[in-house]
Amino acid sequence: MQILEAVILAVYLILMTFMGIYFAKRAHSSENDYWTAGKSINTFVGAFALFAALASSSSLMGAVGSGVALGVPFLFAYGFGAVAILPFTLFLVSGQIRRSGVNTLPEFFKQRYGRAVQIVAVFIVVIGMTFYMVPQLTASGFIGSYVLGVDYKTAVILLGIGFTIYAALGGM
């Protein structure tokens, strides 16, 4: 185990746990607060949340690995998608979703197209988030095994449980 790295990780996890507990109390005041932070996220905070999702392990590891396998044109296409397509899509779609009063994308599809489309949307979201979380857990397993001095699978399980608890407590 790397002592300095373990201390930094412990301090980080303690701070994140206290932040999670604080925001969990706030998030549990209503369902709307839990899912969408009471729809009070301003553009600045929303932009950083979006950037955190784009600049995460799934993007960095996946893009680099795919760039090695598929070449430089893939990296250019990925960079264009991250910089141009996602904000453009948000510009077109986010206002409609916000005005509809729903909290999740499947709820939006149910309201607009019916229950059958909502069920399909749920499956698409679950599959998409699974592919999003695999690189997150892969990176956390590599880092956790190095820092904590445990094997890779144990690190993935421990940190995966930590991710789940943190997200479940804090909501959005």
User: One digit per residue, pLDDT tens: the chain, 172 residues?
Assistant: 578 887 887 888 888 878 877 777 766 677 777 777 777 777 777 777 777 777 777 666 667 777 778 887 877 777 777 777 777 777 777 778 878 888 888 999 999 999 999 999 999 999 988 888 888 888 889 888 888 888 999 999 988 888 888 777 777 6
Q: Does one domain contain both 30 and 114?
A: yes
Domain that holds residue 12: 1-40+108-171
pLDDT at 109: 93
pLDDT at 106: 92
Q: Which of 54, 70, 101 is the last residue of a domain?
A: 101
Q: Does one domain contain both 93 and 82?
A: yes
The tokens for 78 are 């990925």
Q: How far apart are CA 55 and CA 63, in angstroms?
A: 10
pTM for the model stands at 0.67
Q: How far is CA 165 from CA 129, 160, 168, in A?
A: 16, 9, 5
pLDDT at 59: 67
pLDDT at 78: 74
pLDDT at 117: 95
The tokens for 107 are 């709820």
Q: Does one domain contain both 78 and 94?
A: yes
Q: Which of 64, 80, 101 is the last residue of a domain?
A: 101
The tokens for 50 are 């979006």
Q: Which of 71, 86, 101 is the last residue of a domain?
A: 101
pLDDT at 120: 96
pLDDT at 147: 82
Q: Does one domain contain both 138 and 156?
A: yes
Q: How far apart are CA 124 and CA 104, in angstroms?
A: 13
